[in-house]
């Protein structure tokens, strides 16, 4: 069975602070994909990134960066110089090779960025 | 690219009526679409996987006779909540898959009175 754990239920920061959202996963699949989605108050899930299990290179996209470490089964997400518009619920998700594309979601982390 | 629309965005209905929600992939074809349900302050719960031209696959505990899914074309899947009751009130979200990534619609907030 697959499992995704986002231990941080809520995080509150002040604008311009850096913040890291943790994600730990469990799977028996050797090939799998990891995702981060953002859900702003409007409700629509916005795709942020996909990583496959064979690519452990960290990725940076503007103020966003992702740290994938297979050894610790973690896929953490860092927002640098946070802004109020970053306030949202962030979901980490996993899709394994045997799950036919189904996503297993973590419980989500509510990020609030205060001005 | 990879835009998914959902209609309606909000619906209020009386108990006992049926409600149809449409999910469309606007700029790509999706052989597989997914339907999720999300309760306030909770994560997404997968209800069913919808495959074009075949019957949907429902997750354990989801009543297939209550939540009818039709995936009639490569760009359209519909979810019909039959004989809706107040406990069916929720936020319903669809997604369409292209490659290894699912792209989500904006969601439909269903309120059953």
Looking at residue B46, what is its pLDDT?
93
Blockwise average pLDDT, block size 10, chain A, 115 residues: 94 98 95 95 93 89 95 96 97 84 93 97
B78-107 residues touching A, CB cutoff 8 A: 91, 93, 95, 97, 100-107
From the centroid of its chain, how far is CA B101? 17
| Among the partner residues A44, A52, A100, nearest to B104 by beta-carbon distance | A44
- Contact of A36 with chain B, judged by CB distance below 8 Å, is answered with no
Omega cis (within 30) before B8: yes
pLDDT tens column, A53-75: 998 888 889 999 999 999 999 99
**Span B12-41, average pLDDT:** 94
- Contact of A32 with chain B, judged by CB distance below 8 Å, is answered with no
State how far residue A102 is from chain B, nearest Cα, in angstroms. 8
Which of A35, A45, A55 has the most B C-beta neighbours within 10 Å, making it the best mutation to test the interface with B? A45
**B27: phi > 0 → left, psi -120 to 50 → alpha, else beta; which?**
alpha
State how far residue A51 is from chain B, nearest Cα, in angstroms. 10
End-to-end CA distance of chain B: 37
Looking at residue B52, what is its pLDDT?
85
B5-34 residues touching A, CB cutoff 8 A: 32, 34
Q: Is the dihedral of CA A11, A12, A13, A15 positive or negative?
A: positive
Looking at residue A55, what is its pLDDT?
87
Query: Which of A35, A7, A4, A9 minimizes the C-alpha distance to A112?
Result: A9
Query: Which of A24, A14, A5, A3 minimizes the C-alpha distance to A79?
Result: A14
pLDDT tens column, B40-96: 889 999 999 998 888 899 999 999 999 999 988 899 999 999 999 999 999 999 999
Looking at residue A97, what is its pLDDT?
72
Looking at residue B4, what is its pLDDT?
95
């Amino acid at each position: 069975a697959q499992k995704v754990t986002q231990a941080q239920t809520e995080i509150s920061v002040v604008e311009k602070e850096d913040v890291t959202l943790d994600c730990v996963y469990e799977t028996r699949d050797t090939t799998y994909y990891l995702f981060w989605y953002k859900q702003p108050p409007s409700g629509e899930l916005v795709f942020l990134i996909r990583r496959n299990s064979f690519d452990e290179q960290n990725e940076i996209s503007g103020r966003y960066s992702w740290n994938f470490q297979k050894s610790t089964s973690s896929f953490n997400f860092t927002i640098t110089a946070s802004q109020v518009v970053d306030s949202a619920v962030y979901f980490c998700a996993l899709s394994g090779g045997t799950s036919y594309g189904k996503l297993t979601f973590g419980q989500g982390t509510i990020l609030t960025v205060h001005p | 690219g990879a835009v998914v629309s959902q209609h309606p965005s909000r619906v209020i209905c009386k108990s006992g009526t049926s409600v149809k929600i449409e999910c469309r992939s606007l700029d790509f074809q999706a052989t597989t679409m997914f339907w999720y349900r999300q309760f306030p302050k909770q994560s997404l719960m997968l209800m069913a996987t919808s495959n074009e031209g075949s019957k949907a696959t429902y997750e354990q505990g989801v009543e297939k006779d209550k939540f009818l899914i039709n995936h009639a074309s490569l760009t359209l899947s519909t979810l019909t909540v039959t004989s809706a009751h107040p406990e069916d009130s929720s936020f319903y979200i669809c997604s369409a898959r292209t490659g290894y990534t699912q792209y989500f619609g904006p969601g439909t907030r269903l309120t059953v009175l």
